Amino acid sequence: MRIAVIGVGRIGRIHAENLRALPEVEEVVLADVVPEVARSVADQLQVSAADDLSSLLASGLDGCVIASSTSAHAEQLETVMRAGVPAFCEKPVARDLAGAVTLAELERETGVPVQVGFQRRFDAGYRRVRDAVVGGELGTVHLLRAVTHDQAPPPAAYLAASGGIFRDCSIHDLDVVRFVTGQEAVTVSAAGGNKGERLFVEADDVDTAAAILTMADGTLVLLSATRYNGAGHDVRLEVTGSLGALAVGLDQSLALDSAEPGVTLTHGPRHWSFLDRFLPAYAAELEAFVAMIGGAASPCTVRDALQAQRLAEACDLSRRRGAPVRLQEIPDTR
Ligand SMILES: NC(=O)c1ccc[n+]([C@@H]2O[C@H](COP(=O)([O-])OP(=O)(O)OC[C@H]3O[C@@H](n4cnc5c(N)ncnc54)[C@H](O)[C@@H]3O)[C@@H](O)[C@H]2O)c1
């Protein structure tokens, strides 16, 4: 297979390395809006570089990974889909909801397979919890608690273009809650707080947020996110059911200390960002992408990404309104 990676910054470089390691992939070709970046990363990884997306499509591709900045995703994904080339696109597929709706409709019209980069779907713990829920091991599931607590805020420039904490950070929880429960949310009620640096207020954002989701079958989901967890990068999901409770992220690297005398919960190095926390999942999602090119179903479609984006939109609206929002208020068609 000949696969391109467009945009080789933090995550694009990881995707290129993971592709290079797969036996089915004969050639990895990199492109970036800054050509020297593509050439330099290509030299380091000993793969090839090309000028831009259109020259890559003209030269023939089996698949294309879009890992450029968020503002470029929608146009690039549309171009790749219209060329009939299977795509892997980093989240979000589009900066705004209307763009995501358009791409979901294009996915349906063209039938071109697209996988969106929600890597938690490939994390061993999340998969184990999903299997337990689907297999009935936890009995009737009543409650989920989803946590994404970053160690420190991202740069101010990133924040200004991120779309806010729900669209940028909690979006992973919003996707994985659908993945684990197989349910859609009916209502959300959200709040936000700002006790950190002024840059959040200046970006019309909050540094800490919480939401309650009510799923279609009545399951409640409590979700929290903060940009300030001095203990490290804390990503967890707890699922509580009538027959048991199971947690993702309760391992040696847990970024949380116990208040109980004599108890030490953690024994290994903590994670400091999603990049080290999810390294195995980033590799597994690219394996799945190659399988999708080979004919397997997409493990996370544009329609899935649109549903997560609608939830993020609903959370943001609820926080601003100070009132619950029904998901049906957020459009999913043009
Ligand atoms: N799924 C995840 O866990 C995860 C993690 C990190 C980033 N992301 C997403 O991946 C995307 C990239 O994030 P990043 O942290 O790697 O950013 P980054 O700024 O480190 O890298 C982006 C790269 O894309 C290039 N670029 C920008 N516009 C381009 C264009 N039009 N054509 C080609 N290249 C272009 C930039 O020059 C840069 O090299 C973002 O959309 C982000 O939301 C997802």
Q: Where are the domains of the chain?
A: 2-118+284-299, 120-273+307-329
Closest ligand 1 atom to 117 CA: 1
Ligand 1 centroid to Cα of residue 237, in Å, is: 26
Residues whose CB falls within 8 Å of the CB of residue 208, separated by 6 or more in sequence, listed in order: 165, 192, 193, 194, 195, 196, 224, 225, 226, 227, 228
Domain 120-273+307-329 fold: Dihydrodipicolinate Reductase; domain 2 (3.30.360)
Question: In the prediction, which pLDDT does 129 show?
Answer: 98
**Alpha carbon distance 206, 190 (integer Å):** 12
Which one has a higher pLDDT value, 291 or 266? 291
**What's the token pair of residue 160?**
């200004």
Ligand 1 pocket residue status of 91, Cβ below 6 Å: yes
The mean pLDDT of the chain is 96
Ligand 1 centroid to Cα of residue 64, in Å, is: 14
Contact 119, 282 (CB under 8 A): yes
Question: In the prediction, which pLDDT does 189 show?
Answer: 98
What is the pLDDT confidence band of residue 143, given thresholds at 50, 70 and 90?
Answer: very high
Question: In the prediction, which pLDDT does 158 show?
Answer: 86
Ligand 1 pocket residue status of 104, Cβ below 6 Å: no
pLDDT digits (tens, 9 = 90+) for 7-64: 999 999 999 999 999 999 999 999 999 999 999 999 999 999 999 999 999 999 999 9
Contact 325, 318 (CB under 8 A): yes
**What's the token pair of residue 50?**
């090309």
Ligand 1 centroid to Cα of residue 72, in Å, is: 9
What is the β-pairing status of strands 208-215 and 185-193?
Answer: antiparallel
Question: In the prediction, which pLDDT does 265 show?
Answer: 82
Ligand 1 centroid to Cα of residue 152, in Å, is: 19
**What's the token pair of residue 201?**
């207020």
Ligand 1 pocket residue status of 176, Cβ below 6 Å: no
Ligand 1 pocket residue status of 313, Cβ below 6 Å: no
Question: In the prediction, which pLDDT does 334 show?
Answer: 87
What is the pLDDT confidence band of residue 266, given thresholds at 50, 70 and 90?
Answer: confident
Residue 280 has pLDDT above 90, yes or no: yes
Residue nearest to atom 14 of ligand 1 (CA): 10
CATH architecture of the domain with range 2-118+284-299 = 3-Layer(aba) Sandwich (3.40)
Ligand 1 centroid to Cα of residue 84, in Å, is: 23
